[in-house]
Structure 1
Amino acid sequence: MALFPPSALNAGVRKREVFGWAMYDFANSGYTTVVITAVFAAYFVGGIAKGAPWAAFAWTAALSASYAVVMLSMPAIGAWADRRAAKKRVLVVATVGCVVATAALAFTPRVAGPMGVAVAMALIIVSNTFYSYGESLTGAFLPELATAEGMGKVSGWGWSFGYVGGMLALGLCLAYVLSAQAKGLPASHFVPVTMLITAAIYGAAASATFALLPERAQPRTASSAVGAWQQLRATFRQARAHRDFMQLLVCTVCYQGGVAVAITLAAIYAEQVIGFVASETMVLIFVLNIAAALGAFGFGYVQDRIGHKISLAGTLVAWIAVCVIAAMATTKGTFWWAAAIAGLAMGSSQSAGRAMTGYLAPPRQLAEFFGLWTFATRLASIVGPLMFGAITWAASGNQRIAILSTAALFIAGLLLLLPIDMARGREAAQRSR
């Protein structure tokens, strides 16, 4: 069976273009895997902030600030990029911004005291903001490459390739960390090197995207920033014409809030509740990425066969099971089962959500509608972790109650998914040509 049957790609799209597009998923996954999940998060709390009671809150506050910036700016940036046919140009700027800010994190251990905390938080805000811009813009290329019948396959292939990139970055970092620890070197020595490794992989892999992925859109009209905001307001006024897309956004806020908990707090939960040590946590995240890659790749083909909606529903049921198992786990072995299911669900649910967005987005407003999708995912990234933190605080530090409560986000997402009519939503998108 061919990786991409003729029906999967739009006319004139070459496989090298799809490879170039997927290389961006490969490039940016190392950032979330190493910086946000496995390495820098724990170092910020224990190393830079010295384990202060407010350290975890400061970390989530920095992430939330970046998500707020993206929520308020990305839809307008997307509208501007659509009008100017400038998705690729803006993607280059976002990539350079994230790579430079990630590399700059290597110098944060040299800044002592409160200033060190402030500098680290500022760089996280900058790097995560540019990362989010890049994620949204690369998603907007998907409908230009894939047909409606092949969108799940292509999205899943790209997302699974992204997890391979995350594993490469984490694997190289883990090898260096283990070597440094064997020599008795402190985290203040090896964490900066992992930031440089991550930035280098991001920049190098993204270069393939810039070389192979063309900008297929054509400029429509000259546009100012005011015009972009006017277009954004017009998009919201069109909500009735795109009600299934808007319903998907609300659904996305709920279930992606739960996914955000897994991404930003899995390592903390594993170490503080289950008893993992740092090296075990990195191995856990590495294996989780393997499962996520398999889930995204394999489920993309299933998604095109059984339908986007049913596919996403199945992944949400799996996420509910993950929350229950993780909350009940008392041994590392049991938690490994939860992590394996979470990996499969993570890759497939994120790929399915992106494919559904591309399926329901009007062809002439791809970057703008993916900007709205980014708005929803970043709002979810604020709501989910903050809810987890608030429940943990209210439960006197009991994270088991918080992780079990996270299941409510996936249940809400499942209920909000049910009314979506994919055929009606696709028809509305095509009428907007």
Structure 2
Amino acid sequence: MSVETGAAAPSVTSAIGGPVAPRRGQVSWALFDWANQPYFALITTFIFAPYFAATYVGDATLGQALWGQALGYAGLAIAFISPIVGSIADQTGRRKPWLAACGVGFCVAVSCLWFALPGEGAINPVPIMVAVACAAIAMEIAVVFNNAMLPSLVSSGRMGTLSGFGWGIGYVGGLLALIIVLFFLAADRETGLTMLGQPPLFDLDPAMSEADRFSGPMVAMWFAIFVIPLFVFTPDAPATGVRPGAAVRQGLVQLKTTLGHLRRFRNIALYLFSRMLYFDGLSAIFAFGGIYAAGIFGWEIMTLGLFGIILSIFAAAGAFLGGWLDDKIGSKRTIQISVLGLIVATIGSASIGPDTIFFTVPVDPPQPGAAPFSSIGEQIYLVFGILIGISGGPAQAASRTMLARMAPPSMMTEFFGLYALSGKATAFLAPLAIAWATLAYDSQRAGLAVIVAFLVVGFMLLFGVAERREEAISD
């Protein structure tokens, strides 16, 4: 990554004015994505989520519905909390204290997933659902503050590159975490050996699904270690001197004012609404893709891990390419191309069943004990999964760059709070709609098909958005 520095180029200013951050500050900011991506790779997508549905609950269809409820209620809480804390942070100036508080809460909650013993979810899944929801809330709030730091670190013309670099190394981090689980922690239930033919580290018992459950504490340790450079090297905004109590009052007043003035930020409002829908679809396909595969193909941790590794490789490549594309053709066009790819991939994924492809074409189902991805259905599902990976990275990276290019500099964290709201205001609706469709039709495919509508509507609304900087309102 080419990184600009204020020392090397004194005339270069950040997107909101002032000097750009030094090289190590920019890289350390990007390492936040490296620190948090194993959570999305191991917990919400490839390892723990399928384990929760198929083994902890013991019924893939019911488990998918319960997972949807946990993420749905978390999304509802985030929708209320994120714009408020973002507005308060703008009053106090500093973002790192908020990041630290969220990080501690996240590590505690995600570590509790170790206690999700096999089969106990059929008796009482609520404690683990609460832990899952709390971890999601803490992580998403932390992301608000990390995103809001971006415009102060680099010039406007380099935000896409830095954002894409962050997502790219994030996917590499998720990939490495998957490799560690697959080759060193997860063992075959029959042989008790890992894919390297060795006993698993820490004597993790495959009969008790300890590798699946250990993904929670592992993610907590990973985040705690790799978030340190951000706190040490990345410059924070200076404190304003506003006391916490006054910041709460002023932040809430400012939030109310911003919401009231959204009619005067109609361009940003339309973008946030569009992003709200397509990002819900994007998040849902990542959250439920592994669960769907575990249900229709019977994939367990080994195959799911390989699936995750392959997707992470392509997602990382897509994120790096998307960052470059963002600076070349703009954030809006990059998002449109990416969301279109997600629409095609999601429809394709939903068309795959245990013994059919493209909804109606019959194929032989996977054979017990066969090599991973040996059936036609698995192979085509893998192709669509790769397309999701390639498209997902650029869509995520360009989305936060788009807002950083549009929001008034003096209201950046506040708008990133609204950005988080746009990603979570209906985030409870997508998982709950998936849960409802899954239960109503007793079909995982029906749940997955719900995602397409969110992507399509969000994609169409993007055509009305102009990519331009808005001016702050002075009353």
* Aligned alpha-carbon RMSD (Å): 2.5
Match for 1:194 among 188, 203, 215? Answer: 215
Normalised by the length of structure 2, the TM-score is 0.84
Provide the aligned length of Structure 1 versus Structure 2: 429
Change in Cα spacing, 1:56 to 1:392, as seen in structure 2 (3 Å) is closer
Q: Does the aligned pair in 2 maintain the 1:24–1:206 contact within 8 Å?
A: yes
Shift of 1:275: 5.1
| Residue number in structure 1 paired with 2:368 | none
The DSSP-based 3-state class of the residue aligned with 1:288 is helix
Shift of 1:105: 1.9
Shift of 1:284: 1.0
| Residue number in structure 2 paired with 1:247 | 270
Q: Does the aligned pair in 2 maintain the 1:9–1:150 contact within 8 Å?
A: no
Q: Partners of 2:241 and 2:403 in 1: how far apart?
A: 22
Match for 1:384 among 413, 421, 430? Answer: 430
Q: Partners of 2:142 and 2:176 in 1: how far apart?
A: 20
Change in Cα spacing, 1:391 to 1:193, as seen in structure 2 (3 Å) is closer
Change in Cα spacing, 1:2 to 1:80, as seen in structure 2 (3 Å) is closer
| Residue number in structure 2 paired with 1:368 | 414
Q: Does the aligned pair in 1 maintain the 2:65–2:438 contact within 8 Å?
A: no
Change in Cα spacing, 1:168 to 1:432, as seen in structure 2 (3 Å) is farther
Q: Partners of 2:393 and 2:60 in 1: how far apart?
A: 34
| Residue number in structure 1 paired with 2:165 | 157
| Residue number in structure 2 paired with 1:97 | 105
Match for 1:219 among 231, 236, 240? Answer: 240
Q: Partners of 2:443 and 2:119 in 1: how far apart?
A: 31
AA paired with 1:219? Answer: T
Q: Partners of 2:180 and 2:328 in 1: how far apart?
A: 37
| Residue number in structure 2 paired with 1:308 | 331
AA paired with 2:424? Answer: R
Q: Partners of 2:96 and 2:124 in 1: how far apart?
A: 34
Shift of 1:149: 1.4
| Residue number in structure 1 paired with 2:454 | 409
Q: Does the aligned pair in 2 maintain the 1:244–1:421 contact within 8 Å?
A: yes
* 2:471 counterpart of 1:428: yes
Q: Partners of 1:361 and 1:131 in 2: how far apart?
A: 23
Q: How does 1:174-323 map to 2 (within 5 A)?
A: 174-179=182-187, 181=189, 182-183=191-192, 185-219=206-240, 221-222=242-243, 223-274=246-297, 276-323=299-346
Q: Partners of 2:2 and 2:219 in 1: how far apart?
A: 33
| Residue number in structure 2 paired with 1:357 | 403
| Residue number in structure 2 paired with 1:148 | 156
AA paired with 2:25? Answer: E
| Residue number in structure 1 paired with 2:85 | 77
Shift of 1:84: 0.7
Q: Partners of 1:270 and 1:114 in 2: how far apart?
A: 21
Normalised by the length of structure 1, the TM-score is 0.91
Shift of 1:97: 1.0
Change in Cα spacing, 1:56 to 1:411, as seen in structure 2 (3 Å) is closer
Q: Does the aligned pair in 2 maintain the 1:156–1:352 contact within 8 Å?
A: yes
* 2:140 counterpart of 1:132: yes
Q: Partners of 2:162 and 2:236 in 1: how far apart?
A: 18
Name the structure with the higher helix share. 1
AA paired with 1:407? Answer: V
Unaligned runs of 5+ in 2: 193-204, 358-376
AA paired with 2:215? Answer: T
| Residue number in structure 2 paired with 1:19 | 27
| Residue number in structure 1 paired with 2:95 | 87
Shift of 1:386: 2.7
| Residue number in structure 2 paired with 1:345 | 391
Task: Compare CA radii of gyration and give the structure with the larger one.
Answer: 2
Q: Partners of 2:326 and 2:121 in 1: how far apart?
A: 50
Q: Partners of 1:210 and 1:110 in 2: how far apart?
A: 38
Shift of 1:9: 6.8
Give a deviation string over 1:170-189, Cα, whole Å, max 9, x none. 22122234336441731443
Q: Does the aligned pair in 2 maintain the 1:109–1:116 contact within 8 Å?
A: no
Shift of 1:351: 0.6
Q: Does the aligned pair in 1 maintain the 2:65–2:434 contact within 8 Å?
A: no
Give a deviation string over 1:260-279, Cα, whole Å, max 9, x none. 22111101222223554432
Change in Cα spacing, 1:312 to 1:332, as seen in structure 2 (3 Å) is same
The DSSP-based 3-state class of the residue aligned with 1:179 is coil
| Residue number in structure 1 paired with 2:361 | none
Shift of 1:3: 5.4
Q: Does the aligned pair in 2 maintain the 1:8–1:154 contact within 8 Å?
A: no
Q: Partners of 2:115 and 2:451 in 1: how far apart?
A: 35
Give a deviation string over 1:123-152, Cα, whole Å, max 9, x none. 112211111111111101111112221111
The DSSP-based 3-state class of the residue aligned with 1:219 is coil
The DSSP-based 3-state class of the residue aligned with 2:471 is helix
* 2:40 counterpart of 1:32: yes
* 2:349 counterpart of 1:326: yes
The DSSP-based 3-state class of the residue aligned with 2:262 is coil
Shift of 1:167: 1.3
* 2:106 counterpart of 1:61: no
Give a deviation string over 1:358-388, Cα, whole Å, max 9, x none. 1112212222111111111123432223333
Q: Partners of 1:113 and 1:132 in 2: how far apart?
A: 25
